[in-house]
Amino acid sequence: MSSTAQDAIERPQLWSVDEHLDDILRKIRPLEPIELQLLDAQGCVLVEDVIVPAPLPPFDNSSMDGFAVRTADVRDATEEFPAVLTVAGDVAAGGARPSALEPGEAARIMTGAPLPPGAEAVVPVEWTDGGLGGGPVDAMPAAGAAEVRVFRPVKAREHVRAKGSDVGAGELALAAGTILGPPQLGLLAAIGRATVPVRPRPRVVVLSTGSELVPPGEELPPGRIHDSNSFVLTACARDAGAQPYRAGTVHDDPETLRATLEDQLIRADLVVTSGGVSVGAYDVVKEALSELTEEEGRVEFRRLAMQPGKPQGFGRIGPDRVPLFALPGNPVSAYVSFELFVRPAVRALMGLEPQDRRTVRARCAEAIGSSPGGRRQYLRGRYAEGTVTAVGGPGSHLVKALAEANALIVVPEEVTSVPAGTEVEVILLG
């Protein structure tokens, strides 16, 4: 065997981070749209234009608590010589259609209440005696006054919110492609829409593998550790916009893993496993998913030129070809892998731009001792005001340091050390 051929066996090709992500995104299609209740559609992408069915506001209404008047009746009003008007009625928001205002009349009106026919403007209560017979008041008194004194004139349409002044019938409320945040949901509700067609949140099933794992809350027998990955990955999935299901832990038994996956596929648009993907004797995920039948799908296991996160599995399984990410078990590796590969995939399923994390340049406050040559390193860091400091070192088991980090420092493949003061690329987390 030639030395080149031998090398190929001993050192299988390393995929770059970008190649792996491109391959994933090429294989992900956005989920089919469904009609969702407004609050279930929060954060989702609208897939059709929404047209306004009726003007908003639907009728002329008051923007102040005060008195609806005809402008001619208060044209010369001053505090010394007030206009004295007969209080013809009371209009509250949500009240029935008010009766018409005759010359010399005013109607007590509340904010949002429909303007009576014949009324041209609203005088705020503060410009009147409120019907009490004294000077200007600062709040609307209880009902009952027969007359009101108005101390200032108003212009036509003053303190009136015109029908359709927000948006007219037939206009575009929201364009297809809009991400539905709180104000967009508010607009939909205001125009009377109860449901909207959107790409739904992907249902993400998260599974930890490893016979050493014990759920938090239970006592640790010797040699065992608490399962933290299923919690961090479930939380990551929710943070990415998904509807996550934490399916717990599976022991290092390929048959149990396959059976669990088969059960879980019913409710999954995406599956994330952690652990069991390297070269150990009990690497259950790799063993269970490396050789699937044509019908079962295909999961490829790769080594990436990155640290942490070198061993990765990705493929599509089951009759619906649900994307599956088999992430490495080391807790920091699992987290970083989710950020770099699963988060963009979740967003792509929702029809969102895959990348949303902000990347900035920052000055490295302290030197970074050594980074593996040929592998892109993602160190945990704390970023503030243009400066970043590595926390905790490169070990993939350091969950405390991960919990202190708010950024990932990217050390490129060709760089093996970073002197203090160097500018580096930083991915901001959250």
What is the contact surface with ligand LQZAQKY5 in residues (CB under 6 A)? Answer: 208, 210, 212-213, 225, 227-230, 274-280, 283, 308, 310-311, 328-331, 333, 396
Q: How far is the CB of 309 from ligand LQZAQKY5 (least distance, A)?
A: 7
Nearer to ligand MOO, 328 or 344 (CB): 328
Rounded to whole angstroms, how far apart are CA atoms 341 and 25?
9
* Cis previous bond, 323, omega within 30: no
DSSP designation for 344: H
Nearer to ligand LQZAQKY5, 230 or 377 (CB): 230
Name the binder of 279 from ligand MOO, ligand LQZAQKY5, none, CB < 5-8 A by kind: ligand LQZAQKY5
Q: Are 379 and 408 in contact (CB under 8 A)?
A: yes
Name the binder of 339 from ligand LQZAQKY5, ligand MOO, none, CB < 5-8 A by kind: none
Nearer to ligand LQZAQKY5, 151 or 314 (CB): 314
Q: Does 178 bind ligand MOO (CB under 6 A)?
A: no
Rounded to whole angstroms, how far apart are CA atoms 392 and 398?
7
Nearer to ligand LQZAQKY5, 65 or 252 (CB): 252
> Going residue by residue from 396 to 415, which x/- string records binding to ligand MOO, judged by CB under 6 A?
x-------------------
Rounded to whole angstroms, how far apart are CA atoms 92 and 115?
10
Nearer to ligand MOO, 371 or 396 (CB): 396
Nearer to ligand MOO, 121 or 336 (CB): 336
Q: Does 61 bind ligand MOO (CB under 6 A)?
A: no
Nearer to ligand LQZAQKY5, 66 or 308 (CB): 308
Q: What number of other Cβ atoms are within 10 A of residue 239's Cβ? A: 15
Q: How far is the CB of 353 from ligand LQZAQKY5 (least distance, A)?
A: 29
Contacts within 8 Å (CB) and 24+ apart, 400-406:
402/331, 402/332, 402/335, 404/380, 405/380, 405/381, 405/429, 406/381, 406/382, 406/430
Q: How far is the CB of 302 from ligand MOO (least distance, A)?
A: 12
Q: Which amino acid is at 150?
A: V
For the chain, counts of helices (H) and of strands (E): 9, 27
Rounded to whole angstroms, how far apart are CA atoms 133 and 135?
7
> Going residue by residue from 371 to 400, which x/- string records binding to ligand MOO, judged by CB under 6 A?
-------------------------x----
Nearer to ligand MOO, 229 or 330 (CB): 330
Element (H, E) at 34: strand 34-37
Rounded to whole angstroms, how far apart are CA atoms 88 and 82?
18
> Going residue by residue from 299 to 328, which x/- string records binding to ligand MOO, judged by CB under 6 A?
--------xxxx-----------------x
With b for 16 or more beta-carbon neighbours within 10 A and e for fewer, the 95-132 pattern comes to eeebeebeeebbbbbbbebbbbebbbbbbbbbbbbbbe
Determine the size of the site formed for ligand MOO (CB under 6 A): 8
Alpha-carbon distance values, 97 to 91, 160, 164, 166 (Å):
9, 16, 18, 21
Q: How far is the CB of 257 from ligand MOO (least distance, A)?
A: 20
Residue of 170, 179, 241, 255 whose CA lies nearest to 204: 241
**What residues line the site for ligand MOO (CB under 6 A)?**
307-310, 328, 330, 333, 396
